[in-house]
């Protein structure tokens, strides 16, 4: 659903230089052979504990734990590292979570 919405919104840009993917980011692209992809910009919307949405999703309070962020930190770091590898020199990476936990936001 989110990928569809993002695709719909980027069509308004009328650019042939936008790629929207829905893959495991830590291994993207998985098999390009000798071809090496480099991007000017990468948006990382990483999985997170969602503690930034507690006000609009009160059911999260019952399941919330400080360990939630710790459990995701390694995956977030791998995704951020892989994204940085895909950037051209001088490129820009946006790292996004819906968490207020510094461990998640500073992976």
Active site residues: 98
Residues 6+ apart with CB under 8 A from 101: 48, 49, 51, 69
Pair 55, 98: CB distance under 8 Å: no
Locate 7 and state its tokens: 């695709």
Question: Would strands 87-96 and 39-45 be described as parallel, antiparallel, or unpaired?
Answer: parallel
């Amino acid at each position: 659903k989110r990928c569809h919405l993002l695709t719909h919104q980027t069509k308004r840009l009328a650019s042939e230089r936008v790629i929207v993917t829905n893959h495991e980011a830590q291994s993207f692209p998985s098999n390009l052979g000798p071809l090496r992809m480099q991007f000017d910009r990468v948006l990382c919307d990483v999985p997170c504990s969602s503690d930034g949405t507690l006000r609009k999703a009160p059911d999260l309070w019952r399941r919330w734990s400080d360990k939630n962020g710790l459990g995701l930190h390694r995956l977030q770091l791998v995704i951020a590292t892989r994204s940085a590898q895909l950037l051209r020199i001088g490129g820009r990476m946006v790292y996004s979570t819906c968490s207020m936990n510094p461990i998640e936001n500073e992976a």
